[in-house]
Amino acid sequence: MEKARAGLRVARLKGGDPFVFGRGGEEAQALAAAGIPFEVVPGVTSAVAGPAYAGIPLTHRDLAASFAVVTGHRRREAEATAEDGLGMDWAALAKIDTLVFLMGVTNLPVIVEGLVRAGRDPRTPVGVVRWGTTPRQEVITGTLGDIVARAKEAGLRPPAVVVVGEVVALRDQLRWFDNRPLFGLRVLVTRSRAQASQLSARLRALGAEPVEFPSIEVLPPEDWSPLDEAIAHLDRYDWVIFTSVNGVRFFWERLERAGKDGRAFAGARLGAIGPATGDALRQRGLRADLVPSRYVAEAVLAEIGPVEGQRVLLPRADLARPALAEGLRRAGATVDEVVAYRTVRPSEGDAEGVRRALAEGEIDVLTFTSSSTVRNLLTALDPVPPLPDGTIVACIGPITAQTAREAGLPVHVVAPEHTIEGLVRALVEYVEGR
């Protein structure tokens, strides 16, 4: 009200629906009394969302034609005692097919006693959904006769939604959210901020909670001259080999700045390490002549064929491995290496928060998509806390894994296919196998 009177437009953001035990009605009353105009944007109440994410429909034509949403505790100044059952009309509530109690975990014994005393069958299914709709979701099921003991044994604490009714029995058949292969795992994503979204999206789709901490940032080279010079004389190269999507992106920007397009490659064959790099070329109307079966420099050397006397251009990162250039030179090629982009460690990021989360076991998986992400993460977290038992380290390929091992990290997952999809697939296989 103070901010609105000052002439500002104010958003009061609430979890769930503001008018379902969200005290939105009380706040709206205060605004109306003060003559402050307002609007209400309905949300999805946890009474509906929590059970839905647990695979529990509140209504079902064969099982439930009615449901009620009930508060699990009362306003403090009017709080009823446990002896009088929280002041509820249990006889009326016991006749409703499905009951949803919000904020009812603390008073779960009182709720159970009130319903059973009012005639509800002790064998009635009950589900308790904690942190519903999030990767931390927990679901405990039982009956009115044993749910209190089960919740106590599980150490269940608020916030949670309690569902009472025959529809709870459908969970085993309908659960869809918390049975995904990576459900509940918190995964550290160390890719650059611009590229993290692809990996994070795949992880979320499989039930994991991505924790993005970019340990690498991709920047233009400090000097464009070598790359511009190579682009100006593309006609003298027999091969142009791209080692990453970033290499294609920055190369293409300079190519277009020079007033050229894909026709500039007319006299050269193109190589792409990895399908993603090949796709980046295809998006620009070019098709790679060579995409090696394994996405490492050694595979290029094994599959490119004779290159003696040929000239090869390698647009690459400033800190790239020398293996490809050295191997091509040994095979008799003339190799020009030009920096198309730089990789640096970002200066921003909550390193202390990540360090603490690792030390306390709040990160389940570390993912690395290049050797630079390994080195930069360890530098950012220095000193690196010991990883708790069970922490998984997953690497996109053998070169990255080697860097991680040399840095003292245990490596549990190495993707056979050195792509983001391959990394995710390998992580799923490892988790399911474990």
- What CATH number should be reported for the domain holding residue 92? 3.30.950.10
- What's the rounded mean pLDDT across residues 26-45? 96
**Who wins on pLDDT, 217 or 373?**
373
The verdict on residue 180 lying in a domain is: no
Q: Which residues contact 343 (CB under 8 A, 6 or more apart)?
A: 216, 217, 218, 219, 317, 318, 319, 370, 372
pLDDT of residue 78: 47
Going by the DSSP 8-state scheme, the letter that residue 83 receives in this structure is G
Same domain, 151 and 111: yes
Same domain, 257 and 205: no
The verdict on residue 40 lying in a domain is: no
Q: Which two tokens stand for residue 424?
A: 């995710």
Mean pLDDT for all residues in the chain: 91
The verdict on residue 426 lying in a domain is: yes
Other Cβ atoms less than 10 A from the Cβ of 33: the count is: 9
Residue 75: pLDDT band by 50, 70, 90 thresholds? Answer: low
Same domain, 50 and 161: yes
pLDDT of residue 36: 96
Same domain, 323 and 373: no
The verdict on residue 273 lying in a domain is: yes
Same domain, 208 and 353: yes
CATH code at 396?
3.40.50.10090
Same domain, 307 and 351: no
List the Cα angle 54/60/61 in 5-degree steps. Answer: 165
Residue 344 φ/ψ, nearest 5 degrees = -130, 165
Rounded Cα gap, residues 225 and 207, in angstroms? 46
Q: Which amino acid is at 331?
A: A
pLDDT of residue 82: 45
pLDDT above 60: residue 76:
no
pLDDT of residue 419: 86
- What's the rounded mean pLDDT across residues 48-56? 97
pLDDT of residue 135: 86
pLDDT above 80: residue 86:
no
Asked which of 323, 344, 365 is the last residue of a domain, the reply is 344
Residue 77: pLDDT band by 50, 70, 90 thresholds? Answer: very low
Same domain, 358 and 379: yes
Query: Within 13 Å and on the Cβ side, how many CA atoms surround 255?
Result: 17
Lowest pLDDT segment from 5-9, 229-233, 275-279: 275-279
Same domain, 318 and 233: yes
Asked which of 174, 198, 229 is the last residue of a domain, the reply is 174
Residue 115: pLDDT band by 50, 70, 90 thresholds? Answer: very high
The verdict on residue 92 lying in a domain is: yes
Going by the DSSP 8-state scheme, the letter that residue 389 receives in this structure is T
pLDDT digits (tens, 9 = 90+) for 207-263: 999 999 888 788 899 999 999 999 999 999 999 999 889 999 999 999 999 999 999
How far from 167 is each of 64, 82, 85, 119, CA to CA, in Å? 7, 27, 24, 18
Same domain, 84 and 169: yes
Helix 275-282 crosses helix 245-257 at what angle (to 10 degrees)?
20
Helix (H, G, I), strand (E, B) or coil at 40: coil
Percent of the chain beyond pLDDT 90? 74
The verdict on residue 353 lying in a domain is: yes
Asked which of 304, 326, 344 is the last residue of a domain, the reply is 344
* Sheet with strand 209-212: strands edge to edge: 209-212, 186-189, 365-368, 392-395, 413-414
Same domain, 197 and 249: no
Residue in 250, 373, 370 with CA at minimum distance from that of residue 315: 250
The verdict on residue 199 lying in a domain is: yes
Same domain, 315 and 412: no
Q: Are 28 and 106 in contact (CB under 8 A)?
A: no
Percent of the chain beyond pLDDT 70? 96
The DSSP H or E segment spanning 392 is: strand 392-395
Complete DSSP assignment for 285-340: T---SB--SSSSHHHHHHHS---TT-EEEEEEETT--SHHHHHHHHTT-EEEEEEE
pTM: 0.75
Structural domain count of the chain: 4
Complete DSSP assignment for 8-38: -------SS-TTSSSSHHHHHHHHHHTT---
Lowest pLDDT segment from 145-159, 303-317, 340-354: 340-354
pLDDT above 60: residue 80:
no
Rounded Cα gap, residues 397 and 413, in angstroms? 9
Structural domain range at position 424: 186-216+347-433
Same domain, 212 and 317: no
The verdict on residue 41 lying in a domain is: no
